[in-house]
Amino acid sequence: MGLTQFPNGISSFGIPVMGGGGNAIPITTGTYFFVDDSGSNANDGLDPDHPVATIDYAIGLCTANKYDVIVVMPGHAETIGAAGAITADVAGVQIVGLGTYDDRPTVTMDTAATASILVTAANVTFQNIVFYADFEDINYCMLITGKGCHIYSCAFEENLDDTHNWVDAINAGATDNDYDGLEIIDCDFRTEDASVVTPIDLLKNSRDVKIIGNRFCGDWDASPYAAIYQATAEIPKNILVKDNLFHNQHDGNGGLCISITATTGTGWIIGNHSGNKVDAGDTAFLVGADGLYAAENYSADVGTQNSGFLYPTADS
């Protein structure tokens, strides 16, 4: 047998092993499992003609640290209504959705405010999946307490009737450094309900967090009024917050897009752009004066035609 269960290549069923975009299937020497609406948890899930029915069941088929890949087929949809209804508790598992735009797999959270995904194992990846809030004030979409979690090219969306939402989209950390190495890259956060507090909430000390190239549209109207937030008492080391885009629709409070204020932290906040409905005294970016290096961040009122002000101001 070859290195995988597809010795002739995954292209035998029309899906490339490699390629650009957020839905490329990673190479692994582990096992590939498939999830589809047509599946049954009585299947072995080892090929797309015999998929299992749910992501959580597929996780249970994986072996820790083998970097098994769960391929979630285009158009797959499942609804969860309990805390940890999907629990990524197998180290190294990679969960990859196929499809583009509205053909991507969707996980909807419904029924209870405790509905959630838990990431408790190390080195878990979620890629190219849409997560959707369909209940009022869900505590969080995803709680991450495992190191090395990677979230790539995913979307976090809400029902747009202004009653269904998360409080936090991503909630990271139960103890210091349990989410070290978190990467959130090329994701969309569309959290338009005014009850949203924080799309990305970094709750504890951390190392090596990267938040790069994401897009945030939201109305952050409750303290801390920020799309990316880490409290003053929690210290990031070697954090990188880079090239993110923000459209803040709130117009009555601080209007922050990034709030990381630990003066003993280390890292960079660079190249981010924000559009705000700015009131007097609003600050688009807030960082510790003696901590992180901030440069070339820009902010402007939504709807204006200027290029925005530079934060912090350039050295003379």
- Contact predicate 127/95, CB 8 Å: yes
- Contact predicate 224/199, CB 8 Å: no
Residue 289 confidence (pLDDT) above 90:
no
Give which of 63, 45, 116, 119 is closest to 88, Cα–Cα: 119
Q: Specify the 3-state DSSP secondary structure of 21.
A: coil
pLDDT confidence of residue 298 = 85
Residue 191 confidence (pLDDT) above 90:
no
Section 26-42 average pLDDT: 96
- Contact predicate 76/41, CB 8 Å: no
Residue 102 identity (one-letter amino acid) = D
- Contact predicate 134/106, CB 8 Å: no
Q: Specify the 3-state DSSP secondary structure of 55.
A: helix
pLDDT confidence of residue 162 = 62
Inter-CA distances, 155 with 14, 52, 291, Å: 25, 23, 31
For the CA atoms of 261, 263, 269, 275, the dihedral, rounded to the nearest 10 degrees, stands at 30
State the chain's mean pLDDT as an integer: 86
Residue 1 confidence (pLDDT) above 50:
no
Give which of 314, 271, 260 is closest to 296, Cα–Cα: 271
171-198 as b/e, with b when 16 or more CB fall inside 10 Å?
Answer: bbbeeeebbbbbbbbbbebbbbbebbbb
pLDDT tens, position by position, 45-87: 999 999 999 999 999 999 999 999 999 999 999 999 999 999 9
- Three-class SS string for 1-13? CCCCCCCCCHHHH
What's the pTM?
0.91
Residue 131 identity (one-letter amino acid) = F
Q: How confident is the model at residue 282 (pLDDT cuts 50, 70, 90)?
A: low
**Residue 205 burial (10 A CB sphere; 0-12, 13-18, 19+):** buried
pLDDT confidence of residue 16 = 40
- Contact predicate 159/133, CB 8 Å: yes
Q: How confident is the model at residue 220 (pLDDT cuts 50, 70, 90)?
A: confident
| 35 or 227: which leads in pLDDT | 35
Measured CA to CA, the distance from residue 149 to residue 92 in angstroms comes to 9
The two beta strands, 130-133 and 155-158, are parallel
Section 133-161 average pLDDT: 93
Q: How confident is the model at residue 123 (pLDDT cuts 50, 70, 90)?
A: very high
| Domains located in the chain, CATH noted | 26-311 (2.160.20.10)
For the CA atoms of 60, 62, 68, 71, the dihedral, rounded to the nearest 10 degrees, stands at -40
